[in-house]
Structure 1
Amino acid sequence: MSAASELAKEGFRVTLLDRHPYNTFQPLLYQVATGGLNAGDVTYSLRFFAARLKIRFRCTTVVGVDHDAREVECDDGVKIGYDYLIIATGITTNHFGIPGAAENTMSMYTRPDALKVRDTIFGAIEKIASASDLLTGSFTVVIVGGGATGVEMAGQLAELRNHAIPMVYPELNPARVHVVMVEMGPHLLAPFAPSLRTYTLRELVKRGVDVRLNTAISQVDPDQVVFKDGTSMPVDLVIWAAGVAGYERLASWGLPIGRGRRVEVNSDLRTTNDDRVFAVGDASLIVDNPLPQVAQPALQGGKHAARQIVRLTRGLPTEPFSYKDKGSMATIGRADAVLQLPQGLKIKGLLAWFGWIALHIMYLLGNRNRIQTLVNLGTRYVGLGRSGVIVGDVMEPPKLRAIREK
């Protein structure tokens, strides 16, 4: 979308392809997964986006790229010609080949993913509150991965357990809901400064999260996780936030695939095997200068790719991409976050949390989404109670499904 906006300003004929009719603001999906936001608060109509820019949008699934004919092949048989192509497919969950991880865990990288997690969590809580004899009377959620996504999810689940459950489920003892975070490395939020890592760990523990560092998982079953040291833990739900990778299908598109299934590109963001094709965002890997798979490189890379196409059409050489780090942040819970700026400034606590809210509201697409998100977050954290939750259908956790199948 960043690239399309830039090209539209220059008067190019732009076609935007996506298998969904909406864009998803991924940084707030964990709020959807814990009942803080509606899915519509973090999605934005691509048709409206295209109409506003006077470009074309087609809701379709791309199945291949014919580099010789310069055509994109769609699943409905339609072939769309191009002069220049920008690949910006994003990423998906990386399970690192761990047995059972793909089948028995959930992730939060798409709107349907987040809704599935939400309905499973509240479905399990409903079962406990109803004293179902198919459950042991407790609910254990394990979050795998101590990056920003894992930390934010763990912190929010802890607040849900500590504040929402006592009011909404008075018959349920919150102590029966367990939140466990598993990180194979020695630190949470590894890219952050040591002082912020220590602060984050302390705040999660204070909220009642069972944090296990230097702990690697070797197998995931519907009812347990097995660690590499041979021990195991009974679980009801495992949320996978341990890593990402590019989509496997990209390998069949004639693209150079490198580490993490990412498309290898040169410094100008053109792929290493086709000077008419660019790859940007999480799906791309600059061979000589790998960048983190976060929002800012994607936004800046999209604009850069568009500007290089403008230069090429004017007979000018391309320029290398220069990433400007604007800092990193992660929220831990209500009135608590960590913020690290490239100049060395480190902020934690309430001030960082206000900064986190302001930045995420600003980057949301559409004024309706901004207002609705502000209202919903305000209701959750400040207004009519920190206990308000948005729920949907009731879904069974993997453990309960396994019991039924037996």
Structure 2
Amino acid sequence: METTTEVIIVGGGFAGVACARELGRRGIRTLLIDKNSYHQFQPLLYQVAASQIGVSEVTRPLRSIFHRTNTVKVLTAEVASIDVNTHSVTTTDGHTYLGRMLVLANGAEANFFDTPGAQEHGYPLYSVRDATRLGTALVSALNTVNNEPEMEHGVRVVVVGGGPTGVEISGAIAESFRYVIPSYFSPEVAEKCSVHLVDMLPNVLPPFDDKSKAYAVKRLTRMGVKLKLGSGVTQITPGSVTFADGANLPADIVVWAGGLKAGRLIAESGLTLGRGGRVDVQPDLKAPGVEGVYVLGDTANMTDARGDKLPQLGSTAQQAGKWAAKNIAAELTGGSTKPFEYVDKGYMAMIGRGSAVAELGRKRRLVHGPIAFAAWLAVHLVLLSGVRQRATALISWAEDYLTHNRSHVVLGRAD
């Protein structure tokens, strides 16, 4: 069975939701397809894994976002294939949907770079399922150590990847070991636990200024995170991580924050692929070589109007989604598209309790410490989808940072 609409959007992330919202505001019939029934706020998934906030704070039902927008229909289904030439999308239940325009914003997946054992034994952190799976594994490992006091070591965590995600999850886990585990288990258990942050590059936070990198290293070290930089991971086994320089680290849990790549749908789309298996889109966010196809978010390598490469950030995806919708509206009415005019808001990374680094705006104004921490909180509250999500996240942060209490139940399975 085939169903026709004006615009089909594959993916309910930042870019897809922003695009659908703008199209809905303009009264354009839109079908938004995602395998999940909810929108997930990826920048805070590491806090779900560390039990700092709950799943409900980072998820919002897609239908609740669009329940007052009659021209946007939400379909919960897994996409089996796409045809960029006919703008058709076929789901795993055999239904095919046709659109005058097609938007691909279906996100990415962990890039293990063919590292032996990484996919089998590493814990990526890109979805709610990833976060709950990692959180469950941490709690399970802590229970094992607590139940076997004769063990010489505690939970040994190795985080692979020194980018913002790696830095944030390292700080969050180290913070838990220092402030939370002593009261939930025992000081003896906490003292035996460790966190290593490793990366093949000689420093952390590659996109940031050297001063921000130095501040991050200082704060992480003070929190007890041990750094091993300048040597890549060559193998991961159930109990260890091996490096190119021959070193070996024992590891009970390996968090993989080593990068992302576009998923299967993009790889099989027939579109020309660039870095990370993503599509190098044109300045107006359209895929090259085909008509009426836009590629956004983590599935695209985007540039601004000046040709500068844009970061894979939530704010970038949101802006791109809204801009693409405006271009789509122009095309549907016989108008012309315009190059994406990106508003650079800078970079941010949390480094534990009351501490963060921020480089604000195109001029990269450097802010570190409590002020950057407050700015981080404010920005993420604004980006969160829904009033209830913002309110509960704020309450959870206050409870966590003021009392060290972790009341959130971690769901999911560790295997």
Q: TM-score band (shorter)?
A: over 0.9
Structure 1 Cα separation of the partners of residues 273 and 80 of structure 2: 16
Deviation larger for 114-123 or 317-326: 317-326
Task: Report Cα offsets for 1:27-59 as digits up to 9, x if no partner.
Answer: 100010001111111001011112222210100
SS in 1 for 2:51: coil
Aligned length: 394
Asked if the contact 1:330–1:356 (Cα under 8 Å) also holds between the matched residues in 2, the reply is yes
Asked if the contact 2:85–2:291 (Cα under 8 Å) also holds between the matched residues in 1, the reply is no
C-alpha deviation, 1:233, in angstroms:
1.4
C-alpha deviation, 1:254, in angstroms:
2.9
User: Alignment partner for residue 356 of structure 2, among 322, 334, 337?
Assistant: 337
C-alpha deviation, 1:395, in angstroms:
5.8
Change (3 A) 1:208 1:171: closer
Asked if the contact 1:17–1:60 (Cα under 8 Å) also holds between the matched residues in 2, the reply is yes
* Unpaired stretches in structure 1, ≥5 consecutive residues: 399-406
Structure 1 Cα separation of the partners of residues 326 and 410 of structure 2: 43
Structure 2 Cα separation of the partners of residues 241 and 209 of structure 1: 16
User: Alignment partner for residue 360 of structure 1, among 362, 369, 380?
Assistant: 380
Asked if the contact 2:153–2:193 (Cα under 8 Å) also holds between the matched residues in 1, the reply is no
Deviation larger for 2-11 or 250-259: 250-259
The residue that corresponds to 1:305 in the other structure is 324
Report the AA paired with residue 336 of structure 2. Answer: P
Asked if the contact 1:165–1:172 (Cα under 8 Å) also holds between the matched residues in 2, the reply is no
The residue that corresponds to 1:326 in the other structure is 345
User: Alignment partner for residue 404 of structure 2, among 380, 386, 389?
Assistant: 386
Asked if the contact 1:141–1:239 (Cα under 8 Å) also holds between the matched residues in 2, the reply is yes
Asked if the contact 1:167–1:387 (Cα under 8 Å) also holds between the matched residues in 2, the reply is no
Structure 2 Cα separation of the partners of residues 16 and 224 of structure 1: 42
Q: Output aligned runs, 1:2-401, within 5 Å.
A: 2-54=18-70, 55-131=72-148, 137-170=153-186, 172-286=188-302, 289-341=308-360, 342-382=362-402, 385-392=403-410
Runs of 4+ in 1 over 4 A off after TM superposition: 393-396
SS in 1 for 2:395: helix
Structure 2 Cα separation of the partners of residues 192 and 171 of structure 1: 35
Structure 1 Cα separation of the partners of residues 127 and 190 of structure 2: 29
Asked if the contact 1:123–1:395 (Cα under 8 Å) also holds between the matched residues in 2, the reply is no
Structure 2 Cα separation of the partners of residues 68 and 393 of structure 1: 41
C-alpha deviation, 1:163, in angstroms:
0.5
Structure 2 Cα separation of the partners of residues 393 and 354 of structure 1: 29
Report the AA paired with residue 173 of structure 2. Answer: L
Structure 2 Cα separation of the partners of residues 92 and 100 of structure 1: 17
* CA-based RMSD: 1.7
Change (3 A) 1:366 1:98: same
C-alpha deviation, 1:173, in angstroms:
3.3
Report the AA paired with residue 334 of structure 1. Answer: R
